[in-house]
Amino acid sequence: MSHEPESSSPAPGASSSGFGVPPIGSGADPLLRATGLRTSFGSLDVLKGVDLEVRRGKVLVLIGPSGSGKTTVLRALNALTPPQAGVIDLDGERIDFAAKLSKRETAAQRAVLRDASGMVFQHYNLFPHKTVLENVIEGPVIVQKRPRDEAIATATALLERVGLASKRDAYPFELSGGQQQRVGIVRALALRPKLLLFDEPTSALDPEIVGDVLTIMSELAHEGWTMVVVTHELAFAREVADEVAFLDGGVVVERGTPAEVFTNPQEPRTREFLDRLLRPLE
């Protein structure tokens, strides 16, 4: 990932220093606090009361065994899969999933969560019938009703920033996995969300390009974006996370700074999981 010289005329909305100013200044107060999230699929209880806190401008990394509900947590935070119970406080708004609400009110609450976040998927989920640029401006222009010219300028600057300016008019099938994922990140950034959600953004990528995507993500973190990242990349977590939460059996078993969780885990389950991750063959 190269740090290219800035273009001579920075696009509106894109600061000259990188990915644009994160929408909210950093601070220690929580942007999002989730309490008691419960999700079940039929008789399978996946989240059994998950509590989380995401501080403004900070990075929360979620780790945990396969099937522990990491994806389900992310999908609760943006209401793709609304939990059956639990409360999310987001920047002054409260969403109570157990509350009995009209259809309209429910939709409005989900919109609060969805509009606040941008999501990066494991399998990119780009729109295959749209070019790279069209993928990126779809949300800003169609949903947020921003002027098309401005959205194009912002998108172009962001694409340049991730080294994909020349792919603007390409279709997703013409891109490598790493390139597609960079477009996925730019598509999320272009929405100027308060919160960025990443679900194993590098686990579908070839090992030699994982670094490209992780580099972009750590740059975003340094610029002060608020992020929740599900990943198995422990080196990334150690370096970039402000907080690590270990999810197992439908609850957050342990949380703390990377140093606390990785170097000195308190819970046997955490230790076991980390051991297996670090020494898969033993």
Partner 1 sequence: MDWQLAWDSLGPIVRGAILGTIPLSLISFALGLVLALGIALARMSSIRALSAAARFVISVVRGTPLLVQLFVIFYGLPSLGATIPPWPSAVIAFSINVGGYGAEIIRAAILSVPAGQWEAGYTVGMSRATTLRRIILPQAARVSVPPLSNTFISLLKDTSLASLILVTELFREAQKIAAFSQEFMLLYIEAALVYWVICLGLSALQNLLEKRLDRYVARA
Ligand X SMILES: Nc1ncnc2c1ncn2[C@@H]1O[C@H](COP(=O)(O)OP(=O)(O)OP(=O)(O)O)[C@@H](O)[C@H]1O
**Is the Cβ of residue 8 or residue 66 nearer to ligand X in the bound state?**
66
CA-based nearest residue to 232, from 69, 64, 60, 77? 64
**Residue 17 CB burial class (10 angstroms; 0-12, 13-18, ≥19):** exposed
Answer yes or no whether residue 78 interacts with Mg ion by CB under 5 A. no
**Is the Cβ of residue 44 or residue 235 nearer to ligand X in the bound state?**
44
**Is the Cβ of residue 72 or residue 181 nearer to ligand X in the bound state?**
72
Nearest distance, CB of residue 273 and Mg ion, angstroms: 15
**Three-state DSSP class for residue 38:** strand
Nearest distance, CB of residue 156 and Mg ion, angstroms: 32
Answer yes or no whether residue 71 interacts with Mg ion by CB under 5 A. yes
What is the distance between the alpha carbons of residues 22 and 133, in angstroms, rounded to a whole number? 21
| Cα–Cα separations (whole angstroms), residue 270 to 37, 218, 233, 262, 267 | 21, 24, 16, 9, 5
The count of chain residues that interact with Mg ion, using the rule CB under 5 A, is 1
Q: Which residues bind partner 1 (CB under 8 A)?
A: 78, 80, 111, 114-115, 117-119, 121, 123, 125-130, 138-139, 142-144, 171-174, 187-188, 191
Q: Which residues bind ligand X (CB under 6 A)?
A: 41, 44, 46, 64, 66-72
- Which stretch in 20-28, 63-71, 130-138, 236-244 sits in contact with Mg ion by CB under 5 A? 63-71
277's contact among partner 1, ligand X, Mg ion, none, with CB below 5 to 8 A by partner kind, is none
Chain centre to alpha carbon of residue 66:
18
- Which stretch in 16-24, 57-65, 67-75, 76-84 sits in contact with Mg ion by CB under 5 A? 67-75
68's contact among partner 1, ligand X, Mg ion, none, with CB below 5 to 8 A by partner kind, is ligand X
Nearest distance, CB of residue 85 and ligand X, angstroms: 16
**Is the Cβ of residue 11 or residue 50 nearer to ligand X in the bound state?**
50
CA-based nearest residue to 29, from 56, 52, 64, 47? 56
4's contact among ligand X, Mg ion, partner 1, none, with CB below 5 to 8 A by partner kind, is none
Residues 6+ apart with CB under 8 A from 149: none
Helix (H) or strand (E) holding 49: strand 44-55
Nearest distance, CB of residue 258 and partner 1, angstroms: 27
Other beta carbons less than 10 A from residue 184's beta carbon = 25
Report the b/e string of 134-149 with b at 16+ CB within 10 A.
bbbbbbbbeeeebeee
Report the b/e string of 203-221 with b at 16+ CB within 10 A.
eebeeebbebbbebbebbb
Nearest distance, CB of residue 121 and ligand X, angstroms: 11
Nearest distance, CB of residue 146 and ligand X, angstroms: 33
* Contacting residues toward Mg ion, per CB under 5 A: 71
